[in-house]
Structure formats: C-alpha cells, structure tokens
Structure 1
C-alpha cells in the first residue's frame, strides 16, 4: 500500500534530515514577537545555526530539509516542553498543529504530546493507529486515519511520524460492516436449521419392533440428521465468533476499563470448559494467588482465557492436563495456559493468530474449530494494551501467556477509536 511504502522511507529521511538538523543546527523556539517559525505560512522550522561551520559542499542542511519536505509522511519533532521545533508540510496538512495559548504561537496536537511523553518516560518507541475528526464538529467529512510512530532522537527531542491510512481504515470499516451484516442475516436460518435437525433426530429414533430393512433406512437417516446437527452447530459458532471479532476490531466502541476480579474470570473459565474437558478426561488445574485484579472488560477477559483453554483441550490427547497459572508482574497480570498436546511447528508459530489459519487442517475439521478463537484472543489483548505470546515445540505441548493491565489507565485514551498496534504479539 502507498502509506506503507511511505512509512518505510521515513527512517532514511530522518537520518538525513533530522539527524543533519540536530548535528548542524540548533533547534530553537521563535523569539518573542517572531512569526517566521514553524507555524508561519511559509512553513519553515525555526532553525538557527549552531556555529559558523559550513553545511558541506553538498549542502547537507538543505538536502535534509528538502528530504523531509518531500515526504508524504508527516514528521514533527518536539522538544523537552513538547514544542514543535521541526514540522514538514505533510504534517501541517494533516492538522497536527494547533494554535498556541498566545497569539501567533503554535502547539502540537495533544495526541502527539501524549506519545512524546510516553516515549520520554519509558525510552521505548510508541505506535498507534487512530482516527482524527476533520472539520467542524458534526461535519459530514470522514475522519482522518493516521498511523503514528514516536521515537526518541536524544534525551529531550522526540520525532513523531504520521502516515495517512484513511483509505485503509475506510476499507476496513466496509469489510467489518459487511461481515457484521452478513453474520446477522445468517443467524436466523442457522438457528432454524439447528431446530429442524433436532426435530429430525427425534423423528428418526429407531423403534424396538422395526423391520430390519426399515431399521437400515432409519439408521442412515439418523446419521445424516446427526451430521446436519453437528455442522449447523459449527456454523452457528462461526457466525457468533465472526460477530465477536467484528466488535473487537472496532465496529463497537471499547467499554471503559473497570476493575475485574481474576478469581471470577478463572471460575467462569473452569465452568465454561468443564464439559469439553470431561469428555476427553482432561484435568484443568489452576494455581496462583487469590485476589488479583486486572483492568478492562470482564466478559472479554473471560472469553480470551476460555478460548485459550478450549484450544489447549482441542489439541491435547485424552487423559492429559491443562494448567492455568496466574501471576502479577509489576503493572501486568500474566495468565499462562500450558497443555501437553501436539505442539506447534516453527513455520506455524508466527501465523496461528491470523483469522481462519489452521496449522493442521485435518485436525481442525475433526475438532470442529472455526479458526477464529486465537484471533479473538489477540484482539482482546491488543485492545487492552496487552499482548499474547506462545512458546511451543512439536510433540511437547504449548504455553500461551496472556498479558493484561493490572493498573487503571493513567489518563483517558487519546481517541475513542484509537487502537494500539504495537502489541508485541507473537504467534502460536
């Protein structure tokens, strides 16, 4: 995609442009009364030479500035006080600048200041993808989709790259709406199909006094009815999980984070998986301290852990064990789900969180899986600012680790549609 190509150009351009600017020039704020700064109509950054050294026979300073100005990706450099000391035209066109508190002054968008503050506190780059409203409130103009990446240039200055992903967001919304609408329409006929299959099963009960020829016909009809019932139930689960995944991908706003008791989550998971584990004589055990709390949605946490446990049961043999372990690590709650199953090959590890991906197609058909369970886990973890990891080896079982926040968020998220994409997810 075009924006992805543009993002790929940014590190090289920053190396030439920002690096040259910080080495050869001293970034400064405009002096009082000075208007020819970063927010002027000419769009020039307020740059003052650090000394009398020439920029070089190739005009490195000018080359760096031209490189930044030619990018379709926006670049904003913020100083220790979050003042924009360097802005290219693309960033200005995206509306990443605001009027300052005093007349004739400018300020960076609050989201940029938030990202810069996080980078300075943690020393780790931050990436988010979000929608920003355009025009006046209530206008019909579609929001501007942005991929923001904030990196530290030195102890004080932070560079924020912004790529326009509006078209990608629009297509994603169209796809989600289509999936949601189709899934809603499918629920009614699938429900009717399940009821008819159950009625057919009742009607094909084999009477004790039935002739042998009639018994064979009834047995065949019953086998078909059982298959219809099984496949309709599987389709019903697929539709339900498609709807759940659509909601998690942004079709509905995320609920406000609330304290969630991990004791309740574990009890709910054990109750939901009791039937499937008993059918294979698999023991599901739990170990960990009592009274731990996570912050987010209780129903989504229970769904994520249930999916991990059901996945472990599905890919484990009879008479084995699935171990649930919960622990707190600094500001995070970590939930391990370890099984004694078939394990995962190295070539499949990076793909198992993709929608509909099956490492073993034959086994997936046998277990009745939809291929969406782990994708749902990934999106639940990502939407809460957490992550999901896996360690596995063929024939030696797998361990999934779900990481969830153990502290309330420091401040409201920048935008109700913001989606953290740097989740650190590694695949099964």
Structure 2
C-alpha cells in the first residue's frame, strides 16, 4: 500500500496539470464520471477509493478523490501490466477488459503496448488514436483518445487518456473535404494544362520568321507569353493538388502499408534521379556519402518521397553553383539521413513552424521558389507514420541540415496501434 500511496501522490500533481492544461485547453465535451462505489474488487485485488480520513490516510483519500473527479482516464500498470490503480473515467472509456481468469480484469491491449514501449526505452510516449466501441460493424463512431504513458518508477507506468472524439470527427470532416475538393480539381487543372500546351504549339514562331530581320508578330508573342504563364501556373496548381491528396492519405484516409525492408541505396539513387533536372538548372551538385547496403523498414515509395522532398527543398532555397550533401548514419535500431544545403538558412523563430502545412519562413520568396508549402508537412507525416521523426538545425545565412530518422529493424510490438489521427491545424513549407 505504501507503493500505491506514493503513486497516488505522484498522480495528484499529474492529474491537476492534465485538468488545467489538456482538458481546459482542448475544451473536451465528454461528460464527467460519477463516483458511486467506494471500493472495487478486481480479480482479488482491492483498490481503495475512500480510505480513512486521518493523517497520511486523509491525504491519500484526498488524492484519490481528486483523481476520481477528473474526466481524464488514469490507469497505473505494474511490471506484469496488471492495473493497480484505475479511476472511473478510465472505466467509462473502456480501457479495461476481462482477464484470462473469471472475475479478473486486464488493461486494454493498447495500454499494455504503450507501457511496454515506455519500459523498454525509458521515454514518455504520446499518441492519438481511434478505438472502436460497441459491437463490430456497429454504426457508433469510434472513441478518439489522446494517450500519454509515463514511467512512475522502474516497474510501474501511468497511462492517462483524454477524450478527443470531437476533435477527431472534425479532423475527418476537414480531411475528407480537402480530399474530395482535390479530386474534383484534378480534371479541370489537367484540361488547363492541355489547352496551354495547345496554345504554345499554335503560337510558336516559325523558324524562318525568327531567323529573318522582320519583327515577329507582337500579338503572337503576347499570346505565347500568356500561354506560357497559364501552363506554368496550372502545373503549379497540379502539384499542389497532388500533394494535398498525398497529405490526406498520410493523415489516415488510407491504411498504412505493412512495413517492409527498403534498400537505402535504391532510395538515394531514386532521389538523385528525381532531382537531377532541378539541380542542373541551378548548377547545384547533389552528392552522397555513407555506408552501402543499409536498410530501413516501411514503404519504399513513401521513404523516397520524404527524402526527395528534403532534397528539393534544399535546392529551392540554395543559390546557384552550390552543393547539397546527403549523409547516412546507422546503428542497430535507426537509420539517419542528413540533407545539408548551403542556402539561406532558417531564422530561429521559424524553425519550430516550418513543418506546418503552408507555412513559409520567407513569404517574399514563396512564388519565386515555386513550392506548394506542403513538402515538409509530408516529410513529417511520413516520418511519424514510420515510427521515426524529422529534425532540423539551421541559422540564417549558413544553410540548413534536415535529419530524417527511420527504423532500421522491423517493428517489435506484436500489437499495431490503431490509425493515428492528425488534428493539427497548421501547415509546412519554408
């Protein structure tokens, strides 16, 4: 009981912070739990909810009541992933399951997975996901949860769960709207590109006329300039639509592919091939250094897209006659790919925002670089979906280095987490 008492005191501070921060800031609408029983018997394990109100026990009872009054669910798991402390909100969210033996309980498999990851790595884990509720195939919307798992000591892990169902519903509506509009725009944009190409062919100045001393037809030249502008802008809009669709897929509109071994050598060769034309136009050299034969686990097309976006971003913000360097580092668990440029760099107040959708650190250069503002957001989501991350170090005038970190071994967790839902409203670009 001394261990449980210590856990209670720790969770009081945690609970108050969650109540003031997560619940108020997120303005969740889930109803508060009713505390009706003072003692729970679960699998022979008794959990006090109203101990004697004297001395140390009085403080313990106050801590327990504070914990029970929260709308955030809290579950504490021991070394064997048995729940030793559960508040009513966690029960209402369905975070407990029937145990293997009659009359026993067990934590939801997702909670056990998170707890195991925290014990192995010693790092706090946070994830937002949708859990099905009701019977399979039912019409009831899934329960959106923000789960945060932290280690209390070497054996016990606390998992707090906040109801974010409404936020997830709004995110799905927004994502579906963007995907549907993007699909509808593809046809007229494609038609514009074809018409612009036809106009360019029709307004091409004949070679004989161009070689003569006579001034070319001014109307013809003006029509050609307008056709070129239409062609360039429609191509840019086409890239924007394609990247919006790609971002929508990465945010959960489509299931993630099963992780497979991906040869980094192939990824680097593909990236250099995709960016060769853009780099040559600015006389930028794209070079690679690192060991051969490295492997990451995930989707080959997504990994190639992520690295390509980083290299294209580096080229766009670098001057002519410079260099973009790709460097590979690896250990038993991770592969890290650095993309370093000699470009304009990023101001310190912009570093934390460049992975937001449509955010640009340099608004004046947004049109000249021709980007869509979604490339870095796509990189962030690909890294997150693969269980990795992307970081950046930069300073103004000294260039930037982006580091993509991806798993070098297959996932160890036997239970995959449900599809994560992106609920941020920001956007990416530089």
- Specify the TM-score bucket, using the shorter chain as the normaliser: 0.7 to 0.9
1:155 paired with 2:179, answer no
How far does residue 167 in structure 1 lie from its aligned partner after superposition?
0.8
How far does residue 295 in structure 1 lie from its aligned partner after superposition?
0.2
Contact 1:38 1:87 in 2 (8 A): no
How far does residue 117 in structure 1 lie from its aligned partner after superposition?
1.6
How far does residue 153 in structure 1 lie from its aligned partner after superposition?
1.3
Contact 1:197 1:225 in 2 (8 A): yes
Contact 1:133 1:142 in 2 (8 A): yes
How far does residue 37 in structure 1 lie from its aligned partner after superposition?
2.9
1:55 paired with 2:59, answer no
**Structure 2 partner of 1:89:** 88
What is the CA deviation profile of residues 76-108 of structure 1, one whole-angstrom value per residue up to 9, with x for unaligned ones?
A: 111122111111110000000111122211111
What is the CA–CA distance in structure 1 between the aligned matches of 2:215 and 2:380, rounded to whole Å?
A: 53
Q: How does 1:23-34 map to 2 (within 5 A)?
A: none
> Which blocks of at least 5 consecutive residues in structure 2 are unaligned?
1-10, 19-37
How far does residue 212 in structure 1 lie from its aligned partner after superposition?
6.5
Contact 1:176 1:246 in 2 (8 A): yes
Between 1:154-163 and 1:266-275, the stretch displaced more is: 154-163
**Structure 2 partner of 1:346:** 348
RMSD across aligned C-alpha pairs, in angstroms?
2.7
TM-score of the superposed pair, with normalisation by structure 1: 0.86
Contact 1:147 1:162 in 2 (8 A): yes
How far does residue 278 in structure 1 lie from its aligned partner after superposition?
0.6
What is the CA–CA distance in structure 2 between the aligned matches of 1:216 and 1:316, rounded to whole Å?
A: 36
What is the CA deviation profile of residues 164-186 of structure 1, one whole-angstrom value per residue up to 9, with x for unaligned ones?
A: 11111111111111111110100
How far does residue 417 in structure 1 lie from its aligned partner after superposition?
1.1
Contact 2:73 2:93 in 1 (8 A): yes
Secondary structure of the equivalent of 2:153? coil
How many residue pairs get matched? 393
**Structure 1 partner of 2:27:** none
Contact 1:69 1:89 in 2 (8 A): yes
What is the CA deviation profile of residues 277-324 of structure 1, one whole-angstrom value per residue up to 9, with x for unaligned ones?
A: 011110000111110000000000000000000000000111100001
How far does residue 362 in structure 1 lie from its aligned partner after superposition?
2.0
TM-score of the superposed pair, with normalisation by structure 2: 0.86
Q: In structure 1, which of residues 274, 277, 292 is the aligned counterpart of residue 276 of structure 2?
A: 274
**Structure 1 partner of 2:326:** 324
What is the CA deviation profile of residues 318-368 of structure 1, one whole-angstrom value per residue up to 9, with x for unaligned ones?
A: 110000111203300000000011111111111110000111122120111
How far does residue 253 in structure 1 lie from its aligned partner after superposition?
0.4
Contact 1:128 1:420 in 2 (8 A): no
What is the CA deviation profile of residues 212-265 of structure 1, one whole-angstrom value per residue up to 9, with x for unaligned ones?
A: 686111111111111000000000000000000000000000000000000000
Contact 1:129 1:146 in 2 (8 A): yes
Contact 2:383 2:390 in 1 (8 A): yes
> Which blocks of at least 5 consecutive residues in structure 1 are unaligned?
1-9, 18-34
What is the CA–CA distance in structure 2 between the aligned matches of 1:315 and 1:383, rounded to whole Å?
A: 27
Alignment CA distance shift 1:427-1:349 (3 Å): farther
1:414 paired with 2:413, answer no
**Structure 2 partner of 1:306:** 308
